[in-house]
């Protein structure tokens, strides 16, 4: 792969309170910004998780939406008041997202975060997460699925009230990744709902530069398509870290670079139960991931039998 001589990163992530960020994820505090993560902070950095992508040419926040545009990247966030029909709400949210993104200078969706309350409410195909997947599939276009973006879906605190989408977009596509230890989510069998989840396991950004970033989707204790270590938080975390390691190795194979857990810029650990925090911190401490970049949040996992999910950003190093 040809690499540009420009070594400056087009994107980097840091915990910093800086108005110049393309995306600034906040957690604590009041307000209804669509960029405020609807999950309680359990431990980790106090400062916002800020995604920097050079100069911002346009930005605004109004009426449950926020957006910012730069040279290479753009951000769009939406907060939809739920109507009681999560399938219809998901379809509406994704229709609005694609209507705004596709005609723009940044038509490619690279990374999407989805948050809504009561994600595991309902039985069988009536579960809210499964209905959300149906609504999303109803609204997206062929470009969305070829291949789907990296993504996370987490159940937020409190009763169902708001569906929140946050999207990172770009003027060029990312390199989508799948994990050799896991069945692609978009190929899950019928057991997991009438429509398979629409996301890739990860994405590499700026693969033509010296410092590409690998964005890992929500990663849990799943091998193949089967949940593992139900009821054992430490074992689930070790399996999730093994999945992250395999994804980083796959990114290295695809790009000729080297991605390591040690070279993490930001990691989120979503925990179903706050009482698992100490056990989770002990496992993460032994992984090589720098403690200063790990944010622990209270959030429900889309599979009701699992208790923890990881997502993160990793920087390549020369080989």
Sign of the torsion formed by the C-alpha atoms of 146, 187, 94 and 72: negative
Residue 30 has a pLDDT of 58
Max CA separation in the chain (angstroms): 54
Pick among 3.40.47.10, 3.40.50.720, 3.30.1330.40, 3.40.1160.10: CATH of 12-317: 3.30.1330.40
Residue 234 · residue 278 · CB < 8 Å: no
Q: For 33-56, what is each residue's pLDDT tens digit?
A: 899 999 999 999 999 999 999 999
pLDDT of residue 5: 44
d(C-alpha 115, C-alpha 40), whole Å: 13
Q: Is 82 a catalytic residue?
A: no
Query: Three-state DSSP class for 286?
Result: coil
What token pair was written down for 272? 């179903």
Cα of first residue to Cα of last residue in the chain, in angstroms, is 14
Are the C-beta atoms of 106 and 22 separated by less than 8 Å?
A: no
pTM: 0.96
Task: Supply the pLDDT for residue 164.
Answer: 96
Domain ranges of the chain: 12-317
**Given 127, 239, 309, 311, which residue is catalytic?**
309
Which DSSP helix (H) or strand (E) runs through 19? none
Grouped pLDDT means (10 residues each) for the chain, 319 residues: 58 92 86 88 96 94 90 96 97 97 97 98 98 98 95 93 97 97 96 96 94 97 98 98 98 95 98 98 97 98 98 90
The whole-angstrom separation of Cα 205 and Cα 228 is 30
CA atoms of 24 and 67, how far apart (whole Å): 11
Dihedral pair phi/psi, residue 51, rounded to 5°: -105, 115
Looking at residue 192, its pLDDT comes to 95
**pLDDT tens string 164-200:** 999 999 999 999 999 999 999 999 999 999 999 999 9
Q: How far apart are CA 235 and CA 216, in angstroms?
A: 20
Burial 285-296 (b: 16+ CB within 10 A, else e): eebebeeebbbb
CA distances from 115 to 29, 38, 39, 109, 300 (A): 18, 7, 9, 17, 10
What secondary structure does DSSP assign to 127-172, as a single string?
SHHHHHHHHHHHH--TTTTSSPPEEEEEEESSSS-EEEEEEEEESS
Is residue 259 within 8 A of residue 244, CB to CB? The reply is no
CA-nearest of 128, 127, 46, 64 to 100 is 64
- Distance CA(226)–CA(239), nearest Å, equals 12
- The whole-angstrom distance between residue 177's C-alpha and the CA centroid of its chain comes to 14
**CA separation (Å) from 25 to 79, 133, 235?**
14, 24, 29
């Amino acid at each position: 792969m040809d690499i540009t001589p420009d070594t400056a990163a087009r994107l980097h992530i840091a915990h910093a309170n800086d108005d110049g960020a393309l995306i600034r994820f906040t957690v604590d505090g009041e307000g209804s910004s669509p960029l405020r993560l609807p999950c309680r902070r359990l431990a980790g950095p106090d400062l916002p998780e800020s995604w920097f992508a050079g100069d911002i040419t346009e930005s605004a926040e109004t009426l449950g939406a926020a957006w910012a545009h730069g040279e290479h990247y753009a951000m769009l966030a939406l907060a939809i008041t739920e109507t009681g029909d999560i399938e219809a709400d998901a379809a509406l949210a994704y229709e609005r997202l694609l209507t705004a993104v596709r005609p723009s200078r940044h038509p490619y969706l690279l990374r999407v975060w989805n948050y809504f309350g009561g994600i595991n409410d309902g039985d069988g195909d009536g579960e809210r997460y499964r209905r959300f997947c149906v609504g999303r599939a109803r609204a997206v276009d062929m470009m969305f699925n070829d291949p789907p973006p990296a993504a996370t879906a987490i159940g937020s605190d409190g009763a169902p009230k708001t569906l929140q989408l946050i999207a990172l977009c770009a003027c060029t596509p990312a390199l989508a990744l799948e994990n050799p230890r896991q069945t692609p989510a978009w190929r899950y069998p019928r057991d997991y709902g009438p429509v398979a989840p629409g996301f890739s396991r990860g994405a590499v950004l700026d693969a033509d530069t010296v410092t590409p970033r690998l964005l890992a989707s929500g990663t849990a204790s799943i091998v193949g398509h089967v949940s593992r270590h139900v009821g054992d938080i430490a074992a689930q975390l070790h399996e999730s870290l093994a999945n992250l390691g395999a994804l980083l190795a796959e990114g290295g194979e695809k790009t000729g670079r080297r991605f390591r857990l040690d070279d993490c810029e930001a990691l989120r650990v979503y925990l179903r139960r706050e009482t698992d925090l100490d056990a989770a911190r002990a496992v993460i401490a032994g992984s090589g991931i720098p403690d200063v970049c790990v944010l622990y949040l209270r959030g429900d996992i889309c599979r009701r039998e699992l208790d923890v999910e990881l997502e993160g950003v990793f920087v390549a190093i020369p080989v």
